[in-house]
Amino acid sequence: MKVQNTVTLEIVDSANQENPLTFEVPWFLNMNVQQAMESACLIAEAENKPEFKFGLSYSGQTSKGYGVLGYEVVMINGKDATSTGYWNLSINGVNCNEGIDTCILRPSDTIKFTYKLIG
């Protein structure tokens, strides 16, 4: 059962579709996805859970009307975003079109990163 003041982080790729890597992370006011991921890294280490590492790329602002793009996840646990696949972010089953540093969470949200193949 989900604790009310937490968020859930799920990582799904081709190697773990049946058993995603999952973390329950304590939620705090104005928490964003990046902060939840950082907390999950600390929890994994402190509780001897499977390793959780990630890499980011900062896109900044764009002149094409998209606004601030922010940080994008380019690697999770050694699996890189490439020309053939990427890490898709969804919150409560809805695709997120923001950077992980601008996507603000609410208690009980479920953050899901799914590795998607292109094409």
- Our count of domains for the chain comes to 1
For residue 56, name the pLDDT band (cuts at 50, 70, 90): very high
Which structural domain, as residue segments, surrounds residue 113? 6-117
- Give me the CATH number covering residue 93: 2.170.130.30
User: Per residue in 77-117, pLDDT tens?
Assistant: 999 999 999 999 999 999 998 889 989 999 999 999 999 99
Q: For 2-18, b where at least 16 C-beta lie within 10 A, e where not — what string? A: eeeebbbbebbbeeeee
Tell me whether residue 44 is in a domain.
yes
Tell me whether residue 86 is in a domain.
yes
The C-alpha angle with vertex 71 and arms to 67 and 72, in degrees rounded to 5, equals: 105
Tell me whether residue 1 is in a domain.
no
In the chain, pLDDT over 90 holds for what percent of residues?
A: 66
